[in-house]
Amino acid sequence: MELKLYVDRLSQPSRAILIFCKANGIEFEEVKVEFTKKETFSPEFTEINPMQQVPAIVHGDFKLFESHAILIYLASAFPGVADHWYPADVRKRAKIHSVLFWHHSNLRRGAVGYIFNSAITIISGQPVNLQAAAEGEKLLLESLAKIESYWLQGDGPFLLGNEKPSIADLSLVCEIMQLEAADESERERILGPHKRILKWIEDTKNAIEPYFDEIHSIMPVAREKIKELKAQASKP
C-alpha cells in the first residue's frame, strides 16, 4: 500500500486521520504503534517521526507528522476530497487554520492534560496525576466555553457557521471524544452543560457515519479497562 498510517486508535489525532481517509475513500495501510506500550520510542518508528508520537504517515517516499499537517496534506494531495473539508478559497481556508492553531494551544492542551493524567496514563502503568489533571480541566472548560460562545456561533451546525464539516470539526470533535475514556459521570459533569457542543458532536458523527463510530469503538473498551486498572490500584 502506498499510504501508510502509523496510528494508535487510543490517540485522538490518530482517529481523526483514520476517519478522514475512510470517509474520503483514501486507501491506506494501518500500522499500529501503541504508545501505551512505548512503541513510539522504537528506533524504527523514531526514523519516521523523530518526535516519537503518533500519528505519522509515509506516502511513497514522503514522511510527515503533526496531525493537522497530515489532514491538510491528505485533503490537498488526494483528488476527490470534497472542498468542504479544506476549502480552496483563501479566506475560508484561513479561518480553518485559525481554528486548528487555536486548538493546539487551548482545547488540545486542556483535554490532553485532563484525560491523559486522570485516565489514559494508567494503561501505561503510570499513576494518575490529579494536580496536572486539574490544571488541564481548567483550560479544557475555558476552551469548551469558547467553542460554544464563538466558534459555534454561526448559522450552520459546524464550526465557523459552516453547513458541512471541515478538518477542524473532525479534529476538535475527536479531541472531545477522548473524554469517553473517563467515567460516564465525569464526562457528563464536563460536557453536560454544553448543549451546543453535544449537538455539534452528534452532527459531526452523523455526517461521517459509519466511520466515526467504527473508529471510536475502542473508547468504551478503553474506559472499562481504565476502570478495572483503577479498581486494582485502589486495592490495599
- Residue numbers of the site for its own copies (CB under 8 A)? 50-51, 62, 64-70, 72-73, 76-77, 90-91, 93-95, 97-98, 100-102, 104-105, 108-109, 146, 149-150
* Minimum distance from residue 23 beta carbon to its own copies (Å): 20
Kindly state the helix (H) or strand (E) to which residue 56 belongs, with its residue range. Answer: strand 56-59
How far apart are CB 102 and its own copies at their closest, in Å? 6
d(CA 145, CA 222): 27
Toward its own copies, which CB reaches closer, 6 or 212? 6
In this complex, which beta carbon is closest to its own copies, that of residue 136 or of residue 219?
136
Dihedral pair phi/psi, residue 165, rounded to 5°: -70, 150
Instruction: Find the shortest distance in angstroms from Cβ 34 to its own copies.
Output: 21
Burial of 59 (0-12, 13-18, 19+ CB in 10 A): middle
Q: Which is nearer to its own copies, 73 or 211 (CB)?
A: 73
Is the N-terminal amide bond of 236 cis, ω within 30° of 0?
no
Task: Tell me how far, at minimum, the Cβ of 109 lies from its own copies, in Å.
Answer: 7
Q: Toward its own copies, which CB reaches closer, 147 or 173?
A: 147
Give the CB-side neighbour count of residue 77, counting CA atoms within 13 A: 16
